[in-house]
Amino acid sequence: MDMKSHACRWGRLLAPVLTAILVAGIAISASANRECPELIGRWPHGPSMGVEASGNHAFVGSGTAVLAVEISTPSNPQVVGEVVLPGVVWGLAVAGDFLYAACAREGLFAIDVSDPANPVVVGSHDTPGVALDVTVFGDYAHVADGESGLSIIDVSDPTDPIGIGVLVTGGWAEGVTVHASGSHAYLADGDFLRAIDVSDPANPAQTWQYDTPGWAMGAAVAGGGLFVADGDSLLIFDLGDPAQPSPTPPWIVTPDSAIAVAVEGEIHAGDPVQVVRVVGVRLNVVPVERKEKGQEKEGGV
């Protein structure tokens, strides 16, 4: 798969609670009427492949730059800082005072954002593949690394990120998320969704795979659920067993290309939840009724 097919890929979305959701250049009101989100602000600076929010700031990938944006007034986002990287920014993750940027062939970059007005690159690691997404859990960054599958990087010292584990899957990894326990990573890997035991970061091991009906591009964990953007569908899996997620069809068919997903709020078995779904260049907020475990497809290692 070439890079052209990723030209419209947007980053994982996060939202300050009860304020707004900033999505690849668009601010959407997080009001009680979630079926009709209200446009309250617009991002005028061009396409963004990665968006990550932390407190009153969002960090936006804009080409090869990361922009720090003040979003305390969602209807009027203001750029307050900028740092330029050597590659296009595809994915972002915040951990404490540091922002991690997945920059395709240029690898992973650690950026000190303790002062959002003056973001500073403090470290980098050249991953073996194409870094398209990143999530951080504890001392480790988990990178969806294109043809190289999952790369795990020790970021306990952000000034000296060290690659410690790689699992080549044979797919095209472009989305990654981690279970709340930290024991397993879930890789959106093209034709397959994979569960990978990362309890020993130096030796990641696949425990499960699932042949999705579309093309798995993004994933998010919330509560006991795993949510997957799969091209023309939003898939939901139960994580009662983190090593062997269980599909819970029917899937939600999207009218356009579902390329990323974020989930808002707590999730409890049987409760309706709010799922934020990115469809092409639109944001859809979808109330989803959790289903009992289903058997639409069988998974296997």
The domain limits of the chain are 3-289
180, amino acid identity: A
What does the pLDDT read at residue 203?
98
What is the three-class DSSP state of 260? strand
- Strand spans (E) along 126-281: 133-137, 140-144, 150-154, 162-167, 175-178, 184-197, 205-216, 218-222, 225-229, 231-238, 246-247, 252-264, 272-279
The pLDDT tens digits of the residues spanning 234-247 come to: 899 999 999 999 99
* Contact residues for 50 (Cβ-Cβ < 8 A; gap 6+): 10, 11, 12, 59, 60, 61, 89, 90, 91, 92, 101, 102
Homologous superfamily (CATH) for 3-289: YVTN repeat-like/Quinoprotein amine dehydrogenase (2.130.10.10)
Two tokens, residue 196: 């990978």
236, amino acid identity: I
186, amino acid identity: Y
The pLDDT tens digits of the residues spanning 26-35 come to: 343 433 444 5
259 contacts 214 by C-beta, under 8 angstroms: no
The rounded distance, in Å, linking the Cα atoms of 201 and 164 is 7
The rounded distance, in Å, linking the Cα atoms of 218 and 214 is 12
* Contact residues for 120 (Cβ-Cβ < 8 A; gap 6+): 83, 111, 112
78 contacts 64 by C-beta, under 8 angstroms: no
Please, which residues bridge with residue 101 across strands? 92, 109
What does the pLDDT read at residue 30?
39
What average pLDDT is seen over the chain?
79
What does the pLDDT read at residue 35?
53
Q: Of 159, 161, 119, which is closest to residue 143 (Cα–Cα)?
A: 161
The rounded distance, in Å, linking the Cα atoms of 219 and 193 is 9
Sign of the CA dihedral with 231 first, then 236, 239, and 243 last? negative
Residues in the chain, pLDDT under 50: 1-34, 266-301
The pLDDT tens digits of the residues spanning 149-184 come to: 999 999 999 999 999 999 999 999 999 999 999 999
What is the three-class DSSP state of 188? strand
245 contacts 235 by C-beta, under 8 angstroms: no
219 contacts 263 by C-beta, under 8 angstroms: no
Sign of the CA dihedral with 96 first, then 11, 254, and 277 last? positive
What does the pLDDT read at residue 39?
62
What does the pLDDT read at residue 44?
56
What is the three-class DSSP state of 100? strand
The rounded distance, in Å, linking the Cα atoms of 262 and 276 is 5
What does the pLDDT read at residue 166?
98
What does the pLDDT read at residue 27?
40
